[in-house]
């Protein structure tokens, strides 16, 4: 029966991996988390609202995605609108996750692209 949970979780993760790039660590963590969730649902255990808060906030900001530690959804950037759904502002979310004050809530690749674009624009120089 337990093997069935892993098989179901594996099918879900296969579908997810077919849509977006995932590291080996992400795949294995997702399989284990889903298998446990399926087992809990089948057993009738109430799944808490903040189930994804188990996610280590230090690993939530990734190369191609940022994971909301409240709901576990993956984004390129966390918007004020999404955070408001969970009752957070960007500042309170950073405090909740233990991020520093100026930590951008975007994936690393997007952060690099934005930084590069700003350097190219050279907005700090006066225009003649």
38 and 62 share a domain? no
61 three-state secondary structure: strand
pLDDT at 89: 94
In the chain, the number of structural domains is: 2
Q: How far is CA 18 from CA 27, 62, 82, 120, 128, in A?
A: 11, 18, 25, 35, 50
- Domain final position from 26, 47, 68: 47
pLDDT digits over 67-89, tens only? 888 888 889 999 999 999 989 99
- In this prediction, residue 54 carries a pLDDT of 46
Residues 103 and 79 in one domain: yes
Whichever domain contains 81, its CATH number is 1.10.10.1550
17 plus 65 within the same structural domain: no
Q: Which domain holds residue 124?
A: 50-128
Predicted pLDDT at 72: 82
Q: In this structure, are 115 and 86 located in the same domain?
A: yes
Task: Say whether both 91 and 119 belong to one domain.
Answer: yes
- 36 and 99 inside one domain: no
pLDDT of residue 2: 58
What span, in angstroms and rounded, lies between the C-alpha atoms of 81 and 88? 9
Q: What gap in Å lies between CA 8 and CA 14, rounded to an integer?
A: 10
116 and 55 part of one domain: yes
| 128, 110: one domain | yes
The sign one gets for the Cα dihedral 13, 14, 15, 16 is positive
Let me know whether 54 and 115 are in one domain.
yes
* The overall pTM is greater than 0.85: no
Q: Are 72 and 51 in contact (CB under 8 A)?
A: yes
Q: In which element (H, E) is residue 74 found?
A: strand 74-75
* pLDDT of the residue at 107: 94
Residue ranges of the chain whose pLDDT lies below 50: 47, 49-54
57 and 40 housed in the same domain: no
Tokens matching residue 27? 């795949």
**Whether residues 85 and 71 fall in one domain:** yes
* Residues 98 and 65 occupy one common structural domain: yes
Q: Is 66 helix (H, G, I), strand (E, B) or coil?
A: strand
């Amino acid at each position: 029966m337990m093997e069935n949970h892993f098989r179901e979780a594996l099918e879900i993760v296969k579908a997810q991996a077919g849509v977006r790039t995932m590291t080996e660590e992400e795949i294995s963590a997702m399989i284990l988390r889903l298998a446990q969730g399926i087992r809990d649902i089948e057993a009738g255990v109430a799944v808490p609202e903040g189930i994804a808060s188990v996610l280590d906030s230090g690993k939530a900001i990734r190369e191609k995605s940022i994971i909301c530690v409240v709901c576990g959804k993956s984004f390129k950037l966390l918007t004020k609108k999404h955070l408001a759904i969970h009752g957070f502002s960007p500042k309170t979310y950073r405090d909740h996750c233990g991020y520093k004050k100026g930590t951008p809530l975007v994936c690393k690749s997007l952060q690099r692209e934005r930084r590069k674009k700003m350097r190219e624009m050279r907005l700090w120089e006066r225009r003649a």
